[in-house]
Amino acid sequence: MTNYTWEFKRIVQSNTTVLTTDLHQSDAYANIANVSILSVPVPSSNNPGIVYINGEKIVFYSINGNSLGQMRRGAWGTGVPLVHPAGTLVVDASSRQNIEGNI
């Protein structure tokens, strides 16, 4: 029998913000309206911040002002589009959004 690990996230309006500028495939930073609603990454313990933008999972290791940096785009095999337009929702997907339980 194969064992599977499942991870479920909640989507909460209070932990959702928007892109303030277009995010292109080659961009090094993502500019968002409100970084305070996201979990702060802790690179020294390999604990990144995680967001979903239009279905793409993005892992980030730094915050500078209202910009997310040191990003790894398309995490867990999610697609990386040519551009996410300004105004697109940015949803916190950090561990604090995990839904606990056994399946």
Per-residue pLDDT of the chain (103 residues; tens, 9 = 90+): 566 667 778 788 888 999 999 999 999 999 999 999 998 999 888 899 999 999 999 999 999 999 999 999 999 899 999 999 999 999 999 877 778 765 5
pTM for the model stands at: 0.87
Cα separation, 39 vs 47, whole angstroms: 10
What one-letter code names the amino acid at 44?
S
Domain extent for 87: 13-97
Q: Residue 78: give its domain's CATH number.
A: 2.40.30
Residues 51-84: b if buried by 16+ CB within 10 A, e if exposed = bbbeebbbbbbebeeebbebbebebeeeeebeeb
Structural domain contains residue 25: yes
Cα separation, 51 vs 98, whole angstroms: 13
Number of domains into which the chain is organized: 1
